[in-house]
Structure 1
Amino acid sequence: MISRLTGMIVEKLPPECVLDVQGVGYEIHLPMTSFYQLAEIDQKQTIFIHQVIREDAHALYGFHSRYERDLFRELLKANGVGPKLALAILSAMSGQEFIATVQHAEVNRLVKIPGVGKKTAERLLLEMKDRLAKWQAVSSDISPSAGVDAGVQPLEYNQSQSASQDAIEALIALGYKANQAESAVKKVSAGQSSSEQIIRLALKSML
């Protein structure tokens, strides 16, 4: 199993990147909170990997830290949570925010994430409360309403004129409906040239 990859970032199309490792390009899916932390194009990057092997595909999920990857793996153990949903949860909020959300039993915050209905949110909170008892957030005063900004410093990367469209496509890939994605992007895109920044603000506006 692949645990970690180090190479050059050659492509960034949120929520995915391509990492060149000695001439082999690995397509990696990342939660946006990890995507924000990626180096710029043509710079070296180490990504912690969770590998999923199925009959029809081999998928790599990447994370900025081992901490984030381990939290992703804990989410996958919860009933009804697959990689796509876990990715959506950790895109909408940081790991520390998710732990705080569980601790505060914030059902209303979770149901705003695509794929999470009220019953799923309640079950997830119940299951994760005991599972995350051993986890401790980096900052004990992080509140669930702190927003996706908490502890996240996005890095700029190659800009394109289609930043808003890239942001919409990224949100759709994370499970949001097209009209939700378009509405959220339209609301926050004014004056923004980076798709990362637009995605970040759009996700924050929907929580």
Structure 2
Amino acid sequence: MIERLRGEIFLVESDYIGVDVQGVGYQVFVVNPYQFEEGTTNVVYIHHVVREDASLLYGFSVQEERNLFRSLLAVSGVGPKAALGILSAGTPAQIVSAIQAENVAFLTKLPGIGKKTAARLILDLKDKLAHWMPKTLEIPTQTVVSESNDREIVIDALMGLGYDEKEAAQLANNSFEENQSVEAWIRAALRQKG
């Protein structure tokens, strides 16, 4: 199986890129092909699917995104195309946070995801993705919250999950406690909505 490719991007199409590795051109389906620029050398992390009628490569610029893609594939009813569609509609942080918060409204806005699939995503992945929350939200490592700057981080994270600015600010204000981490603050805000 192919783990990664390092090569020159020679083609950028609407749903895939061409990667030249020592004279061999690979077709790699990616979330956002336009993040790659023709003529540049890139490392692409690969998920390789071998079927009876095809051998397909799905590529990601970071391993974290590939790991989330693989987690999505483990859910019944989610194939590679649907998983790519999900990843193209939101950042890994937004998707994982929505699953953690059981935010069905956000999940059903993702391409190809109805209420049943959203419920399966939550049921199958909520516990498995619990360790992703701090990493994917890209929260600073500080442990004590200063109400000014960190309040904006919390509001931005909530808005990324689909809350409007007013509602996000209200959730942030209502869930603030002294000496809590930004991660704990976000989790507390999400619990209020649940």
- Compute the TM-score of the two structures, normalised by the length of structure 2: 0.69
Query: Could you tell me which residue of structure 2 aligns to residue 29 of structure 1?
Result: 29
Query: Could you tell me which residue of structure 2 aligns to residue 2 of structure 1?
Result: 2
Q: 1:57 and 1:121, CA in 2 relative to 1: closer, same or farther beyond 3 A?
A: same
Percent of residue pairs bearing the same amino acid type: 44
Structure 1 contact 104–144 (Cα < 8 Å) conserved: no
Which amino acid is 1:62 matched to?
A: G
Query: Could you tell me which residue of structure 2 aligns to residue 120 of structure 1?
Result: 117
- In 2, the alpha carbon distance for the partners of 1:125 and 1:143 equals 19
- In 2, the alpha carbon distance for the partners of 1:49 and 1:17 equals 12
Per-residue deviation, residues 6-50 of structure 1 (Å, max 9, x unmatched): 110001012210001111110000112xx3532x21111110000
Which amino acid is 1:23 matched to?
A: G
Between the two structures, name the one with larger relative contact order (CA 8 Å, sep ≥ 6).
1
Aligned mate of 2:160, from 131, 146, 149: 146
- In 1, the alpha carbon distance for the partners of 2:45 and 2:158 equals 26
Query: Could you tell me which residue of structure 2 aligns to residue 184 of structure 1?
Result: none
How far 1:80 moved relative to its partner? 1.4
Q: 1:144 and 1:18, CA in 2 relative to 1: closer, same or farther beyond 3 A?
A: farther
- In 2, the alpha carbon distance for the partners of 1:27 and 1:21 equals 11
Structure 2 contact 137–157 (Cα < 8 Å) conserved: no
Which amino acid is 1:76 matched to?
A: L
Alignment of 1:1-207 (within 5 A): 1-32=1-32, 35-38=33-36, 40-136=37-133, 137-140=136-139, 141=154, 143=157, 145-146=159-160
Bigger Rg, structure 1 or 2: 2
- In 1, the alpha carbon distance for the partners of 2:29 and 2:161 equals 22
- In 1, the alpha carbon distance for the partners of 2:129 and 2:161 equals 20
**Secondary structure in 1 matching 2:93:** helix
Per-residue deviation, residues 117-162 of structure 1 (Å, max 9, x unmatched): 11111121121101101223242446354279xxxxxxxxxxxxxx
RMSD between aligned alpha carbons? Answer: 1.8
Runs of 4+ residues over 6 Å off in structure 1: none
- In 2, the alpha carbon distance for the partners of 1:138 and 1:64 equals 17
Q: 1:97 and 1:36, CA in 2 relative to 1: closer, same or farther beyond 3 A?
A: farther
**Secondary structure in 1 matching 2:35:** coil
Structure 1 contact 28–62 (Cα < 8 Å) conserved: yes
- In 2, the alpha carbon distance for the partners of 1:133 and 1:127 equals 12
- In 1, the alpha carbon distance for the partners of 2:115 and 2:68 equals 22
Query: Could you tell me which residue of structure 2 aligns to residue 187 of structure 1?
Result: none
Pick which of 67-76 and 48-57 moved more.
Answer: 67-76
- In 1, the alpha carbon distance for the partners of 2:99 and 2:63 equals 20
